[in-house]
Chain A
Amino acid sequence: MTMNPISEKEEVKRLLILAILAGRIMLKNGAETYRVEDTIIRICKSRKNIKYVESFVTPTGIFVSLEYGEEVLSYLQRINTIKIDLNKINMVNDFSRQFVSSDMNIEEATKKLKKIDDIDNYKSITRFFSGGIICAFFSLLFGGSFLDFLASFFTGIIVVAISTKLNNLGITFFISNFSGAAIASLLSILFVKIGIGTNIDKIIIGSIMSLVPGVAITNAIRDTMSGDFVSGLSRGMEAVITAMAIAFGVGMILKIYFKGLI
């Protein structure tokens, strides 16, 4: 195949941008950093005459540089919002395997990736409902009664709805977790006051379980295990600060409650 060198260079550039896009979708939705690095390197190496690719990913940014012919191209991408969508990670993972093993056109591949980025796996009403289910079954798991189950079900729905809303507005995770926990405890106290539910502690424990930083804990550990200590530390810090935010939110409302103001 004889191509003129200018269009070939253009092709390599587009490949780099494609790899960055794939990495960005994965990282934005909560993938481990080593998985993002692997995917970027795999996509870049799959096409001809690219001698050398190196990528460095942290939870807040992607750096890639690649050597092609006599030139070195590099690209830097800053990642801001982190929301969790494990389905997208799975789909991009499948996509990269498919892209590497087939002879897919880069333009077509970019279109496919953009389509993956736009998919919403569950409707937001389903997500709110599932938030209610987590909270309700946790209050049973910690020994709540049937009325506690109902109270934490409604509390959970409201908490998930509000914290999702706050996240969409671009408010820091500390504030959204803090207010989520505060609202959870406030609603639990109110539900017990009006007679739905008897154990305040069981309802509150159930209701804060939809906020706990499970993703941050898991990814911090898995990143550290694969040798990405910077990512592991920063994800671990995220987990610690989220836990603190939840504790402060609950503590503030409980303090007001014990003072007799509610």
Chain B
Amino acid sequence: MELFKQFIFSFFATIGAAILFSIPKDSIISAGAIGGFGWIIYTFILNQYSSAVAGTFFGALTVGILGELLARHFKKPATVFIIPGIIPLVPGAGMYYTMLALIEKRFYDSVNIGAETLFIAVAIAIGIVMSSSLSRSIKRVKNKSR
């Protein structure tokens, strides 16, 4: 039930981001669903293994793979789905708490949280790298065998 609630919230948040980036009208719902699934994977791994970095990595990987698949299916650029999809995973909270710790002169905390925020950003990057390089190599192999 908790996961379902989280899915609904992230679904609507992603839809908002999708409209802000003005994606084609017929792919709004699927973009929202991708964002929701990415966030679900993130929360699941965060709860099971209490690692935000690993959660973000698998969330971004999910978003990337689903985005590439849907891009294939709807014949649209993959970024239409991936850009709104990763928005829930971007560490806005980490940025805020880093700044808060800096202002309250808790420098040890700020380095701690700041490093985690940085790693989360890197984890998003690696998740997308893996999915898009996977899809690219599949495309290349298919082109060669033709």
Say whether A and B bind each other: yes
Residues of A within 8 A of B (CB): 30-32, 35, 84-91, 93-94, 121-122, 126-127, 130-135, 137-138, 140-142, 160, 201, 204-205, 208-210, 212-215, 217-222, 224-226, 243, 246-247, 250-251, 254-255, 258
Within the assembled complex, what's the spacing in Å between the Cα atoms of A222 and B125?
9
Q: Is the CB of A258 within 8 A of B104?
A: yes
- Contact across chains for A140 and B19 when beta carbons are under 8 A apart: no
Of chain B, the residue at the smallest CB distance from A138 is B13
Which of B15, B18, B95 makes the CB contact (< 8 A) with A208? B95
- Closest-CB distance, A28 to chain B (whole angstroms): 13
**11 extra A-B contacts, CB within 8 A, seeds A89-B80, A133-B19, A134-B87:** A84-B21, A86-B21, A86-B22, A90-B24, A126-B19, A130-B18, A131-B20, A141-B9, A218-B128, A225-B136, A247-B98
Contact A218 B83 (CB under 8 A): yes
User: What are the residues of chain A within 8 A of B75 when measuring CB–CB?
Assistant: 94
CB within 8 Å for A130 and B133 given contacts A201-B96, A214-B87: no
What separation, in Å, do the CA atoms of A213 and B12 have in the docked complex? 19
B76 at the interface (CB under 8 A from A): yes
Asked whether A243 lies within 8 Å of B87 as measured between CB atoms, the reply is no
* Interface pair A214/B95, CB less than 8 Å apart: no
Residues of A within 8 A of B129 (CB): 221, 224-225
Assess the B125–A160 pair: CB atoms within 8 A: no
Q: Is the CB of B9 within 8 A of A140?
A: yes
Q: Do the beta carbons of A133 and B15 come within 8 Å of each other?
A: yes
- Decide: B132 and A225 in contact? CB cutoff 8 A: yes
A142 touching B93, Cβ below 8 Å: yes
Report whether over half of chain A's contact residues are helix, strand or loop; otherwise say mixed: helix
The docked-state distance in angstroms from the alpha carbon of A258 to that of B22 is 38
| Contact indicator A93/B16 (Cβ below 8 Å) | no
Residue in B39, B83, B92, B96 whose CB lies within 8 Å of A86? B83
Q: Tell me the dominant secondary structure on chain B's binding face.
A: helix
Query: Does B54 have its Cβ within 8 Å of any Cβ on chain A?
Result: no
Given A130-B16, A212-B92, A258 contacting B79 (CB threshold 8 A)? no
- In angstroms, Cα B99 to Cα A253, docked, is 11
Contacts of A140 in B (CB 8 A): 9
Q: What are 5 A-B interface contacts by the 8 Å CB criterion?
A: A87-B22, A87-B24, A130-B16, A201-B97, A214-B83
* Smallest CB separation, B140 vs chain A (Å): 12
Residues of A within 8 A of B103 (CB): 251, 254-255, 258
Residue B33 lies at the interface, judged by CB distance under 8 Å to chain A: no
| Size category, B interface | 35 or more
Q: Is B144 an interface position by the 8 A CB rule?
A: no
**Contact of A127 with B19 at beta-carbon distance under 8 Å, contacts A90-B24, A141-B10, A217-B86 already known:** yes
In angstroms, Cα B95 to Cα A142, docked, is: 14
Given A90-B80, A214-B17, also A141-B132 (CB < 8 A): no
Of the candidates B13, B22, B87, which one forms a contact with A133 in the assembled complex, judged by CB atoms under 8 Å apart? B13
Contact in complex: A209, B13 (CB < 8 Å): yes
B102 in contact (CB, < 8 A):
yes
- Distance, CA A176 to CA B84, complexed state (A): 21
- List 10 A-B pairs, minimum CB-CB distance, nearest first: A134-B16, A130-B19, A133-B16, A137-B13, A130-B16, A251-B99, A85-B22, A86-B23, A212-B90, A137-B12
Please state if B99 and A254 are interface contacts (CB–CB under 8 Å). yes
Distance in angstroms between the alpha carbons of A132 and B128 in the assembled complex? 27
